[in-house]
Amino acid sequence: MKCEEIAELLPDYLQGSLKAPQDHLVEQHIEECADCREDVTIWKKLSLLPSEQPGAGSRERFEAMLDAYQTGRNEKPSADREKRRSVWNWLRSPAGAVAWSAALLVIGIFAGNYLGSKTTHSNTGQDEIAAMHTELTNMKQLVVLSMLQQQSASERLQAVSYSRREDQLDPQVMSALVHTLRYDGSVDVRLAALDALSRHGGQPQVHKGVVDALQEQQSPLVQVALIDLMVEWRDPDTAQRLRNFAQTPNLNPTVRQRADWALSKLN
Amino acid sequence: MKEQERAETENDQAMKLAPDEDLMLEVRNGSGATLGVLFDRYHAPLFNFYSKLTGDRTLSDDLVQEVFLRILKYRQSYQPGTPFRAWIYQIARNARVDHYRKTPRHISFEPDMVAPVMPKDSAQQLEETELLHRALMQMPEEKREILVLSRFQELRYEEIARLLGCELGTVKTRIHRAIQELRQNFKQLERGLAPREAGPAVVKTIPPRRFENEM
């Protein structure tokens, strides 16, 4: 038998999954052929390499991560807050957004006409109309957001992971992600959004969104992830923000420690 | 009280025997503590995988933690019926690729790693082990990975094919080529010759392959 034919059988032979009579063929061949024999020898020799053992602190690090994660997840909003939140959620939902944007538009037109007829030289009316324009632009964005506003966290997670497939993000999707990072109710979704955003640190909008998010986050896990990302970006102005953040009273000790560590890295 | 304790021990026992997939489903349903059992099962093999691949113990430690954090984060994307081992190695590969994307590695490989604990054996074997280690490290990471997966992680070729997203036949061919290269590196080292440098930017040739449901 030739080496090429043996080559097809050799990998199975090495894993011991070759059956008779093929294994005999291989054995016969390697007795005659030095190169193939050495292939087998080197494969066997690999067992000399010891298996690398993780350091002793590995389990503790894992426990700390798990703790931080669960603390973050168990912070359930109180019933009262829940109620207020549902109104807020309605306002933020696409239907709510359309409704209040339309309302603003009507108020704006009335106000504009009224003020415009009274004081022709005042800019207030125009400002009002400019504001309405912004409002309408925001509506588009809110429609994109609706994708991220599904009831179930796993669907929102899916939306975030879809966005990760694109190398270039539409600015609206980007701001939707920043929004998710800041306000999503689920720690998982916020973390996933941060993950997705971490690739777009070059965008000023993303950069600002991430830095701003730090002050608002309640979950230690998200806080730590944000701090880590800031260290990665190595941006001098974040140092000041971090310093302020590290002063926050009642900060989780792990997070404070992380912030101190980050500051030592950034300075 | 005692009964409760006994029930807990029984529960622990059952958990220790449960298949990975069942445990992962519990994690998926919100039991973070169950992840500890999976950590116990997988953190050492994963550490060994990363360590053999990168030669960097600190990085390997970080990557192992990253894998378990990702499992928590993306636990909802674990589909019942997916072999857990395949899933975790998929995450492990993606974590490594993402790491290199963020922090391009140093090209030269002279690891500042702590020397691995060598088996206490004859001086000759010690030397052989050292040469073998070097020969392995001189290979491009892509080829080293397939050897590490099959020889040290003891993944079946079918599992590797699924992981790398290629045909079974391709895996076998690549394994064979990797062995041949290792053998040549080893011989050259034995003769005291420096083999050719491993090419830079190896990571480009290992695209992360993600499951359809993305993680």
Evaluate the CA torsion angle B108, B112, B117, B120 in order and state its sign: positive
**pLDDT value of position B144:** 93
Per residue in B137-181, pLDDT (tens digit) is: 999 988 999 999 999 988 999 999 999 999 999 999 999 999 999
Taking one residue from A and the other from B, the number of pairs with CB-CB distance under 8 angstroms is 133
- The alpha carbon of residue B71 is apart from the nearest alpha carbon of chain A, in Å, by 11
Q: Of residues A158 and B215, which shows the higher confidence score?
A: A158
Which of the listed residues B104, B131, B146 is the one where a domain comes to its end?
Answer: B104
Select the highest-mean-pLDDT range: A125-129, A163-167, B11-15, B27-31: B27-31
Pair of tokens at residue B86:
């395949």
CA distance A99 to A83: 20
CA distance A126 to A138: 18
Per residue in A145-176, pLDDT (tens digit) is: 565 666 667 767 777 776 666 566 677 778 88
Q: Taking residues B49-72, what's their average pLDDT?
A: 92
Is B129 found in the same domain as B199? yes
Pair of tokens at residue B155:
């993944």
Domain annotation covers residue B185: yes
Is B135 found in the same domain as B61? no
DSSP B18: S
Asked if B11 is an interface residue toward chain A (Cβ–Cβ < 8 A), one would say no
**pLDDT value of position B96:** 92
Is B72 found in the same domain as B23? yes
Is B161 found in the same domain as B92? no
**pLDDT value of position A233:** 82
Residue of A nearest to B119 (CA): A50
Residue of A nearest to B121 (CA): A48
Is A143 found in the same domain as A35? no
Asked if B214 is an interface residue toward chain A (Cβ–Cβ < 8 A), one would say yes
**pLDDT value of position A123:** 60
Which of the listed residues A117, A132, A147 is the one where a domain comes to its end?
Answer: A147
Residues A48/B119, Cβ–Cβ less than 8 Å: yes
Is B96 found in the same domain as B133? no
Domain annotation covers residue B131: yes
**pLDDT value of position A144:** 47
C-alpha distances in Å from residue A173, one per residue of A28, A142, A147, B29, B126: 64, 10, 10, 29, 57
Is A263 found in the same domain as A197? yes
**pLDDT value of position A106:** 78
The domain in which residue A128 lies consists of 85-147
- The alpha carbon of residue B4 is apart from the nearest alpha carbon of chain A, in Å, by 24
Is A209 found in the same domain as A112? no
- The alpha carbon of residue A208 is apart from the nearest alpha carbon of chain B, in Å, by 20
Is A136 found in the same domain as A221? no
Place of tokens 């082990």: B129
Count of positions (residues) in chain B: 215
- The alpha carbon of residue A159 is apart from the nearest alpha carbon of chain B, in Å, by 11
Domain annotation covers residue B115: no
Domain annotation covers residue A55: no
Is B77 found in the same domain as B135? no
Q: Reduced to 3 states, what is the DSSP secondary structure of residue B121?
A: coil
Nearest to A65 among B69, B76, B213 (CB): B69
CA distance B60 to A245: 30
Q: CB A65 to CB B214 under 8 A?
A: no
Per residue in B61-84, pLDDT (tens digit) is: 999 999 999 999 888 889 998 899
Q: B61-84 burial, b for 16+ CB within 10 Å, e for fewer?
A: bebbbbbbbbbbbbbbbbeeeeeb
Interface ipTM: 0.76
Is A97 found in the same domain as A168? no
CA distance A246 to A145: 32
Domain annotation covers residue A61: no
Q: Is residue B119 predicted with pLDDT exceeding 70?
A: no
Domain annotation covers residue A54: no
Closest CA to A135 of A106, A156, A115: A106
CATH number of B32's domain: 1.10.1740.10
- The alpha carbon of residue A6 is apart from the nearest alpha carbon of chain B, in Å, by 10
Closest CA to A6 of B172, B145, B183: B172
First to last CA, chain A: 67
Is B131 found in the same domain as B96? no
Domain annotation covers residue B152: yes
Domain annotation covers residue B2: no
Q: CB A54 to CB B147 under 8 A?
A: no
Q: CB B172 to CB A11 under 8 A?
A: yes
Residues 6+ apart with CB under 8 A from B39: A59, A62, B68
Is B127 found in the same domain as B99? no
Is A183 found in the same domain as A239? yes
Residues A132/A105, Cβ–Cβ less than 8 Å: yes
CA distance B74 to B91: 10
Q: Taking residues B181-198, what's their average pLDDT?
A: 76
Domain annotation covers residue A23: yes
Residues B44/B153, Cβ–Cβ less than 8 Å: no
Is B99 found in the same domain as B21? yes
Q: CB A65 to CB B175 under 8 A?
A: no
pLDDT above 70 coverage of chain B, percent: 73
Domain annotation covers residue B49: yes
Backbone torsions φ then ψ of A169, nearest 5 degrees: -105, 140
Q: Taking residues B25-46, what's their average pLDDT?
A: 91
Per residue in B80-100, pLDDT (tens digit) is: 988 999 999 999 999 998 888
Which of the listed residues B75, B104, B133 is the one where a domain comes to its end?
Answer: B104
Residues 6+ apart with CB under 8 A from A111: A125, A128
Residues of chain A with pLDDT below 50 are: 76-80, 140, 143-144
**pLDDT value of position B31:** 84
Is B91 found in the same domain as B28? yes
Is A234 found in the same domain as A203? yes
Domain annotation covers residue A73: no
Domain annotation covers residue A173: yes
Residue of A nearest to B103 (CA): A232
Is A134 found in the same domain as A158? no
Domain annotation covers residue A34: yes
DSSP B152: I
Domain annotation covers residue B84: yes
Alpha helices (H) in A50-198, listed in sequence order? 58-74, 79-92, 94-118, 124-147, 153-163, 171-183, 187-197
Domain annotation covers residue B6: no
Q: CB B77 to CB A61 under 8 A?
A: no
Q: CB A42 to CB B69 under 8 A?
A: no
Is B81 found in the same domain as B143? no
Q: CB B44 to CB A39 under 8 A?
A: no
What's the total number of domains in chain A? 3
Q: Which residues of B touch A65 (CB under 8 A)?
A: 65, 68-69
CA distance A244 to A267: 15
What's the total number of domains in chain B? 2
Q: Which residues of A touch B214 (CB under 8 A)?
A: 158, 161-162, 164-165
Which of the listed residues A124, A147, A170 is the one where a domain comes to its end?
Answer: A147
Domain annotation covers residue A76: no
**pLDDT value of position A159:** 72
Residues 6+ apart with CB under 8 A from B135: B182, B185, B186, B189, B195
Alpha carbon B160 to chain centroid, angstroms: 11
**pLDDT value of position A90:** 62
Arithmetic mean of pLDDT over chain B: 80
CA distance B128 to B195: 16
Question: Is 0.90 surpassed by the pTM of this model?
Answer: no
Q: Is residue B51 predicted with pLDDT exceeding 70?
A: yes
Q: Reduced to 3 states, what is the DSSP secondary structure of residue B90?
A: helix
Residues A43/B151, Cβ–Cβ less than 8 Å: yes
> pLDDT band at residue B4, thresholds of 50, 70 and 90?
low
Dmax (CA) of chain A: 106
**pLDDT value of position B121:** 54
Q: Is residue B54 predicted with pLDDT exceeding 70?
A: yes
- The alpha carbon of residue B44 is apart from the nearest alpha carbon of chain A, in Å, by 6
Is B128 found in the same domain as B79? no
CATH number of B132's domain: 1.10.10.10
The domain in which residue B145 lies consists of 121-210
